């Protein structure tokens, strides 16, 4: 069946007739939507929307994450043939997933960007869909959190990262990928008593009350213990998960703007994410994939797998 489908399926980003199911389109051909899902702005009948935010004008070092959504979509074409390994269900069969395309914004009016992104995500949520976002630099998480908090109230929060991103920034007009978490706490978007950051390995004395599970601790106690700690921290509250790809060691994710050695392996990250099954995930993102600094698409592949895990987590929390 797969071989026969491969002979006929092409450009399923536009031609697929169903919102569910595997895709056997040739990996190396066709238009590259995320997981070969259909591009659409009409979310009627869909459960979940994946959207891209090609913004990187808030970085402190190397730019390039504006190309992240495109690269992640391309890398994702390796995945829609089979159910994701390690899960007890197939989200592509059970969930109606749309590729909602990218956010449109005026790159020359950076100050207008946060409101545009917040409205973009709010439109997805108002349509009754969950939202998984492909970034983009980490500053994009703040407007996304604003949209989710308006719907759900203060959120439980999980962040995979080399950096806490809680550097002090009380200037409301600044847009900075290293200060978004500080502002999110100050604005009451996340409940720090139910917030945790995993993989941290840079110095920032003020964690804003967020629990830190740094990279050495992950290496020491193992991913299963970390997953249990995170589950206990977030409880059953509506939860948002943000995955900065630099949470992975540069050996596993070289294509990022601020790499730091000593990070998580892709295997550790996968085990932790799968160990979170059952949390009440309401949204998530994968950010800081920077293709100009990638090698053989390693980082984009990692980003595509993280996005799939977020989809699996979102769906697992709603099964039964």
Residue 169: both structure tokens together: 């920034």
Q: Beta-carbon neighbour count of residue 250 at 10 Å?
A: 18
Contact present, 268 and 231 (Cβ < 8 Å): no
CA 37 to chain centre: 17
246 in a labelled binding site:
yes
Cα–Cα separations (whole angstroms), residue 73 to 23, 107, 229, 260: 14, 22, 32, 25
191 in a labelled binding site:
no
Residue 266: both structure tokens together: 């892709």
Query: DSSP secondary-structure letter at 36?
Result: G
Cα–Cα separations (whole angstroms), residue 169 to 47, 166, 175, 178: 36, 8, 9, 9
Residue 50: both structure tokens together: 């994946």
Give the contacts of 273 (CB within 8 A, at least 6 positions apart): 306, 309, 310, 313
285 in a labelled binding site:
no
219 in a labelled binding site:
no
Contact present, 47 and 275 (Cβ < 8 Å): no
165 in a labelled binding site:
yes
220 in a labelled binding site:
no
| Residue numbers belonging to the annotated binding site for Mn(2+) | 138, 161, 163, 165, 244, 246
| Residue numbers belonging to the annotated binding site | 138, 161, 163, 165, 244, 246
């Amino acid at each position: 069946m797969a071989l026969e489908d491969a002979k006929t399926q092409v450009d399923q980003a536009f031609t697929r007739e169903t919102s569910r199911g595997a895709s056997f389109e040739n990996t190396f051909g066709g238009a590259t939507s995320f997981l070969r899902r259909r591009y659409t702005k009409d979310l009627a009948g869909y459960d979940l929307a994946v959207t891209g935010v090609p913004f990187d004008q808030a970085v402190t070092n190397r730019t390039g994450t504006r190309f992240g959504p495109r690269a992640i979509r391309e890398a994702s074409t390796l995945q829609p043939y089979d159910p994701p390994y390690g899960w007890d269900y197939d989200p592509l069969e059970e969930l109606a997933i749309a590729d909602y395309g990218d956010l449109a914004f005026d790159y020359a009016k950076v100050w207008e960007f946060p409101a545009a992104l917040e409205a973009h995500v709010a439109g997805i949520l108002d349509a009754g869909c969950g939202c998984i976002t492909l970034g983009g630099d980490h500053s994009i998480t703040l407007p996304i959190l604003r949209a989710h908090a308006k719907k759900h109230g203060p959120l439980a929060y999980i962040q995979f990262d080399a950096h806490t991103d809680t550097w002090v920034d009380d200037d409301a007009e600044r847009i900075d990928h290293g200060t978004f978490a500080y502002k999110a706490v100050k604005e009451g978007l996340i409940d720090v008593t139910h917030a945790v950051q995993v993989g941290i390995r840079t110095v920032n004395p003020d964690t804003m009350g967020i629990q830190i599970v740094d990279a050495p601790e992950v290496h020491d106690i193992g991913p299963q213990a970390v997953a249990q700690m995170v589950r206990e921290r977030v409880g059953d509250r509506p939860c948002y998960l943000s995955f900065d790809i630099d949470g992975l060691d540069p050996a596993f994710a070289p294509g990022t703007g601020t790499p730091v050695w000593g990070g998580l392996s892709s295997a550790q990250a996968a085990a932790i994410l799968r160990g979170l099954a059952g949390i009440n995930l309401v949204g998530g993102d994968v950010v800081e994939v920077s293709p100009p600094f990638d090698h053989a698409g390693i980082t984009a592949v990692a980003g595509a797998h993280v996005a799939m895990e977020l989809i699996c987590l979102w769906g697992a929390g709603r099964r039964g």
